[in-house]
Amino acid sequence: MLTSYIFSLFLVGVVAQPGTNVDILGREAGGDYVQSQATLSLTPKFAAFQCSSIADLSASSRPVFTETNNGEWECSSMLEYSETGHTPSLFIQIRGIEPGVWSSFRVKLNFGSLLSRQVLGARAANLIHLLVGTNTPLRDLEGVLASGRELEITFDDVTLKYRQERLDPNRFNLFGSKKLSPQKSAPNPE
């Protein structure tokens, strides 16, 4: 187990949590690609009260939760942080196709200073843990997001993709999708 731990650290540049089966799929242009199979689903349910909980207490606008008659729903929020020059922000959009179960999400990180990278990276990582639980194979998800390293990771029927937006080194998108039951299919968040 120690050998696989050291091997994953060497190849991926991040540490996989012990107890997960990690396979390296490939590496391109500074991106890390990891696939992991968890033994049981630890993905928590998502509802309107979780949507309101993602708000920053100092934010002037509150998250918006909308639900349709057929059970589909969306939670969206924009968090802006005051800073001189470039205004850092975090846009969040979470969608579900049945009550309590998210199917896809998008988190747009608009970085400013180095400090905003740390703050937004931490906020985004906390949101990921709210949605998928803490059973991610990356030990330092917060650091990976703040560093701007592109990644693609699959675990526990969840796929996360983190990509730089076009040619702007300060803007990144984190897409998440969840493999759902065969009766329902998740829309592509991209």
- Token pair listed for 122: 């931490």
Residue length of the chain: 190
Tokens 């918006």 — which residue? 64
Q: Is the pLDDT of residue 174 over 90?
A: yes
What is the pTM (predicted TM-score) of this model?
0.69
Signed CA dihedral, 185, 190, 35, 15: sign only = negative
Higher-confidence residue: 179 or 81? 179
Q: Is the pLDDT of residue 54 over 50?
A: yes
Give residue limits of the domains in the chain: 2-178
Q: Is the pLDDT of residue 81 over 70?
A: yes
The mean per-residue pLDDT over the stretch 18-29 comes to 37
CA distance 97 to 139: 30
